[in-house]
Amino acid sequence: MDSLSQAVLGASVGGAVLSRPLGRWALLGGALLGTLPDLDVLIDYGDAVVNFTEHRGFSHSLLVLLPVSFLLAVCLARWQTRISLWRWWLFTGLCLITHPLLDTFTTYGTQLFWPLGDPVAISSVFIIDPFYTLPLLIGVLWTIAKPSSSRVLIGGLVLSSLYLVWSLVAQYAMTQRVMPALAERGLSEAPRLVQPMPFSTLLWRITVLGEQQRLEILTGLLDQDVPLQVESFPRDASRLAAIEALPAGQALLHFTRGFVAVEVHGDELLATDIRLGLPGLHPFQFVLATRQGAEWQPLMATRRVLRPMTHPQAWPALLSRTLSRPPGLCLSTLSAAVDGRGCR
C-alpha cells in the first residue's frame, strides 16, 4: 500500500497498544515502525529487474520482522522499564508485521516468508484506496487531538479491517460473474488475475492468459444490465520463449506469475509487468536483451524504461465506468467507448 496508509495503520496499531502510557508518542512510534519495511527501496542491487523483484523481500518477511521486533522490544524495555517486555514486543511486532500483511492484499507481490516460498499477492485492494485509509486517518487525527481516548482509533482499525474483508467478497463476486464468459471461450482454467481498478473496489479488471491472446475484462459492482466488455491483446509465443531463456526473464515471470507482455523495439527485447497499471500505462517495463545476429544477448544489467503514468482521457472515462455510466473505458485505446456501444 501507499506510504500514508502504512503510516496511519502503524500509528493506529501503536496507539491501540500503548496510547495510555505513551500518549501521542505511541502514534508517532507506530507510524515510524509502520513505514520502516519500505526503506528497502533505497537499496540498489545494480539491476532493474532485481530491484523490482527484491522489493518487499527480506524487509517484508515475517521470518525477519518477528526477531527484529523482539530485539527492538528488548532495547525499548531497558529504556522504559515501566512497560513490560511483552507489551513492548506486542507494540513493535504488530506495527512491523501489519505492514507486509496489508501489502499482501495488493497486486505487487510480497515475499511474506522470505527466503522461503513465493510472493503473496491477494490482489483484492488497489495500492491506493481512500476507502481503506480514511477510517484510519480519522482515528489517528482524533486521537492526536484527544489522546486520552482510543475508541475512535480502534473504530478506524475495525472499519479498515472490515473493508479488507469486503474486498475479498467483492473479488469473489467479480470472479463468479466472468466465469461463464471464460468457459465459453475455453479459458475457465487459464491463469487469471482479478483485481480492482484505481481507488475503490467498485470497478474490477480481470486479466486472463490464453495461448495466443490475453483477455482484459472490465466489470463493476454497480453494473446491472451492462454486458461484459471483453478486449483481446495478442501474445507472441516466440517472444515469451525468448525471455524464458534469460535469467532476468525467468525471475520476472516467476515474480509476476507469468503476467508479462513481451515486445521488440528495434534491437531490444522488452518485458512489461501487465498486472500493474493499465495497457499503455504499465509502469514497470524492462529492457532484458539486445539482438546480436539471430540471437538475443542478455544485458549485463537490465534497465527500466520510464513510461507515462497518466493519460488525459483515461481518468474521466474510468470514473464514468466505475459509476456504470456511459461511455465506458476501452483499455486498448485508454479512451471512451465509441458512442457508448463498446470498444473497437
Going by pLDDT thresholds of 50, 70 and 90, the confidence category of residue 8 is very high
SS3 46: coil
In this prediction, residue 328 carries a pLDDT of: 66
User: What does the pLDDT read at residue 339?
Assistant: 58
Question: How far is residue 309 from each of residues 283, 284, 312, 314, 315, measured CA to CA in Å?
Answer: 7, 10, 10, 11, 11
Per-residue pLDDT tens digits for 274-291: 999 887 789 999 999 999
**Range 15-36 average pLDDT:** 94
Strands of 268-273's sheet in order across: 260-265, 268-273, 285-292, 295-305
For residue 332, pLDDT over 80 is answered with no
Indicate if the pLDDT at residue 135 is higher than 60: yes
Q: What percent of the chain has pLDDT over 70?
A: 95
pLDDT beyond 90 at 148? no
Per the listing, cell 474521466 goes with 316
Q: What is the pLDDT of residues 22-31, one digit of tens each?
A: 999 999 999 9
> What percentage of the chain carries pLDDT values higher than 90?
77
Q: Which long-range contacts (CB under 8 A, 24 or more apart) does 206-214 make?
A: 206/174, 206/175, 206/178, 207/259, 207/274, 207/275, 208/182, 209/235, 209/258, 209/259, 210/185, 210/235, 211/235, 211/237, 212/237, 214/261, 214/274
What pLDDT was estimated at residue 326? 59
Q: What is the pLDDT of residue 344?
A: 55
State the DSSP H helix or E strand holding residue 262, giving kind and residue range, or none if neither. strand 260-265
Which tens digits make up the pLDDT trace of 94-110? 999 999 999 999 999 99
| Mean pLDDT of all residues in 293-311 | 87
Element holding 318 (H helix, E strand) = helix 314-322
Closest-CA residue to 131 (of 159, 150, 110, 173): 159
Q: How confident is the model at residue 342 (pLDDT cuts 50, 70, 90)?
A: low
Domain ranges of the chain: 3-122, 236-305
